[in-house]
Structure formats: C-alpha cells, structure tokens
Amino acid sequence: MILMKDYSVNHKCKEEIYIPSIERAAKRYLSNNIAPGIRNGKKKMLNKYIPQNSNNMLEGSKILDVGANIGEFSLVALDNGAQKVIAIEPDPLIYYALKENLKMHLNKTEVYDIAFSNFNGRETFYLQSNTADSSLVEFDNYEKAIEVKVCKIDSFFDQEILDKIDILKMDAEGGEPEILKGAQRLLENLNYVTIDVSAERKGEKTMKDCKKILKKYNFDLRIVNEENVLIGRKDN
C-alpha cells in the first residue's frame, strides 16, 4: 500500500491518498498524460462523471458509488457538498485503500466490500488490482480468481435507503448491465445515473445494453461524453 501526498509551496501536506501499489501510483498520478498530483486526479474524476457546470448537483446529494475503487469520486463528491456517499468495492486490496481514504469522513460515508449483479449468491471475481481492472467478467491476464459474495442492489438495501439515493455512479469493469438489472427498485425513483461503459466486457462496450435498460425507466440518455461515460437524467 502506497501513501501519496500533495505538498504546498511551504512543504505542508495538503492532501494524501492511499493507492494499492507503486505501479498504480505511477500510472495514475505520474503519467505524462495527466497533470501529476492528487487534486488533479480528483478533478479529472469529477469531470469524467459530472458534466461541466453541473457540479452544484452534488450539493446535498446522496450518492451510491458502485466500483468506488480507491475513492477518488467519493472524495471529490464530498468536496463538492455531497451529504452522503455509499461506496462499494469488492476487490479486497482496493477496498482496504478505499476505507483508509474515507476514514476522515465516517459521518458521511458507508463502505462495503460486496459485488453487485443481477442475482444473490457467490461468484468468481477476477483480480487485477494494480490496474484497477478487477471484475466479475473474466478477462485475459488477471492476477488470480477468488470467490466473492454477490448481491442485487435491490436486495442489499432497504427501500427506505433506495428512495433517498439521488445519484448512481458506476464503474464495474464490464458488469454494468447485470448491476442495473438487479436495481429495478432503485431505478424507479432515481433521477441521475453516470456510468462508465468503456470496452471492458471482453473488448466490447456496455453502452447499448445499459441504454436499453435505462430507457425502460424513462431516463434521458442524450448526454454521452468523450470519456465513454453514459449519463442519464429524468425530467421532473
């Protein structure tokens, strides 16, 4: 586990974040493709999932962060006024980092090491913690396979909790359609979804399947940004 720190000009630590490995730290924060630093990483995550000029929608919101990873989106949502974040991460090593990163926000967060899908039971989970690609969907070059508890969102949470969720953010490395199928009660009352639908399901995007499901719940899916994130709203 690596602790990354951002320092100000007077060498005082301004922000810090736990990352599972030095390889992940180098890729995420030291790449030539992005500005280095924790704040820039969080800003990039915010811009990926929330349209620019829409940051105010996070103010006072309750968020379900499925595939929270090390918690960058959860943290930046809290920075922008989110009232509550429920963070989900089934990868054991990344879950540990997530808990460490959110421990300063215990009064505003809940963290669970559960894998969501469209059934309740147990399933094989394929690990690739260094690249943040762990998934229920088998892929080439995974580190190892473990068995994890799997649950539908609708079964894991009481209706009272589901009714209070304002935003569903999801990055399930190709498992997004199954998760949506197991979240019918959530989707009935939810007004905003933001989902990574990149080509992580055996090289195929999950956009088509996710669109088909979300249209049944009257989401307006016209906003799809260049990050392969599908954004859906309901007009009230």
pLDDT in tens, 4-59: 665 544 445 567 787 876 666 555 555 444 445 677 777 888 888 998 777 788 99
Backbone CA torsion sign across 234, 220, 225, 22: positive
For residue 26, the model assigns a pLDDT of: 54
pTM to 2 decimals? 0.88
> How large is the angle between the packed helices 72-79 and 38-49, nearest 10 degrees?
90
C-alpha pair distances (Å), 61 with each of 57, 81, 84, 103, 164: 7, 8, 7, 19, 9
3-class SS shares of the chain: helix, strand, coil, % to 5: 35, 30, 40
3-state DSSP assignment of residue 210: helix
pLDDT score recorded for residue 15: 73
Interatomic CA distance for residues 83 and 122, integer angstroms: 32
Q: What whole-number distance in Å separates Cα of residue 38 and Cα of residue 33?
A: 14
Compute the average pLDDT of residues 159-175: 93
Q: What is the pLDDT of residue 223?
A: 67
At residue 200, the pLDDT reads: 72
pLDDT tens sequence across 36-50: 567 777 788 888 899
Domain ranges of the chain: 2-233
Domain 2-233 has CATH 1.10.3720.10: no
Q: How confident is the model over 74-123, as pLDDT tens digits?
A: 999 999 999 999 999 999 999 999 999 999 999 999 999 999 999 999 99
